[in-house]
Amino acid sequence: MTHKMRLFAAALVVVLSAGFMSTAHAQNGPKRAITKIAGDLYRFQNNFHFSVFLVTPDGVIVTDPINADAANWLKAEIKKRFDQPIKYLILSHDHSDHSSGGEVFADTATVIAHENAKATIIGESRPTAVPDLTFSDTMTVSLGGKSVELIHVGASHSDNLIVMNFPAERTLFAVDIVSVRRVAYKTLSDSYFPGWINALRKMESIDFDILAPGHGPLGVKADVAANTGYMSSLYNGVLKGLRTGETLDRLKTNLTLDTYKDWGRYKEWRPLNIEGVYNRIQLQRRAR
Ligand SMILES: [Zn+2]
């Protein structure tokens, strides 16, 4: 073996063992982490889902529990790191992959959600705590000299999605309606148009710097406007196609939305996004 070959073989071993390590990690359980966003605002990761929590001298405000196991892990970590009780749990919307596990925090926390979320959580037997407090448009939660503004952005992604603005931390927590340089998720289940676009515009009018989405990396305020651009091009492109008699298959081929071709999941999810909007408009037509 030459020196170069030995080096190559050594490098290969490193790459292979790194591969094995990440596989082993995945088999050992979910990837969980707590990272600081700004001030006393933290981000909680459970695999591909994220929420945030705010630590104050009078207790902690947590948001989406994600699921019961994740919530139990987070509850123990908060106890260990901050030794503060959890006073509020705020749900971004009713969907189970974000809202499940609320009962873990409900022993000490007041549970808050949009009024439509409460009806769906009860009506569809979601595995979470039933909200104690609901609101229709906006609500401010204050604790220990800090605050979070809850804003219902209208029927958009679900009919009960709220975004959470942490003014002192200059951060907006927004779930499933916005992501950082990535197209929307698959066929946009439980979505409303043009409400989704109106909701993004409403978010653009909020004063903040850091965008904390429910999936993927942190971003900045400009990412919201970029999402408005993408969703508007998608929606208007499908409307125009329907008006000129395009089939769904032709739309999937022709509505290329080239401006966004470098965004994540563009190849796999752009056609599904088109299908989702197309089917939703057809449903609305039939309902009339
Ligand atoms: Zn959702």
The pTM of the full predicted model, rounded to 2 decimals, is 0.90
Domain boundaries, the chain: 31-176, 178-191+222-288
Return the pLDDT at 185.
97
CA 95 to centroid of ligand 1, rounded, Å = 5
Token duo for residue 1: 């073996």
Phi, psi of 135 (to 5 degrees): -150, 170
Return the pLDDT at 111.
98
Token duo for residue 252: 């999937």
Antiparallel, parallel or unpaired: β 219-220 and 210-213 = antiparallel
Token duo for residue 113: 């959600």
Give residue 54's Cα distance to chain centre.
Answer: 17
pLDDT digits (tens, 9 = 90+) for 28-52: 799 999 999 999 999 999 999 999 9
CA 20 to centroid of ligand 1, rounded, Å = 33
Average pLDDT estimate for 206-211: 98
**Hey, how many other C-beta atoms are within 10 angstroms of the C-beta on 181?**
16
CA 64 to centroid of ligand 1, rounded, Å = 11
Strands of 146-152's sheet, edge to edge? 138-143, 146-152, 162-166, 171-174, 210-213, 219-220
CATH no. for 31-176: 3.60.15.10
Say which amino acid occupies 176: D
CA 14 to centroid of ligand 1, rounded, Å = 39
CA 2 to centroid of ligand 1, rounded, Å = 56
Phi, psi of 2 (to 5 degrees): -75, 170
Token duo for residue 115: 């009024």
CA 157 to centroid of ligand 1, rounded, Å = 6
pLDDT band at 283 (very low <50, low <70, confident <90, very high): confident
Task: Look at residue 25 and tell me whether its pLDDT is greater than 50.
Answer: no
Token duo for residue 220: 């900045």
CA 91 to centroid of ligand 1, rounded, Å = 11
DSSP state of 205: T
pLDDT cut 70: percent of the chain above it: 90
pLDDT digits (tens, 9 = 90+) for 89-141: 999 999 999 999 999 999 999 999 999 999 999 999 999 999 999 999 999 99
CA 39 to centroid of ligand 1, rounded, Å = 27
Return the pLDDT at 27.
59
pLDDT digits (tens, 9 = 90+) for 136-173: 999 999 999 999 999 999 999 999 999 999 999 999 99
CA 232 to centroid of ligand 1, rounded, Å = 20
Partnered with residue 114 across adjacent β-strands are 135
pLDDT band at 24 (very low <50, low <70, confident <90, very high): very low
CA 48 to centroid of ligand 1, rounded, Å = 13
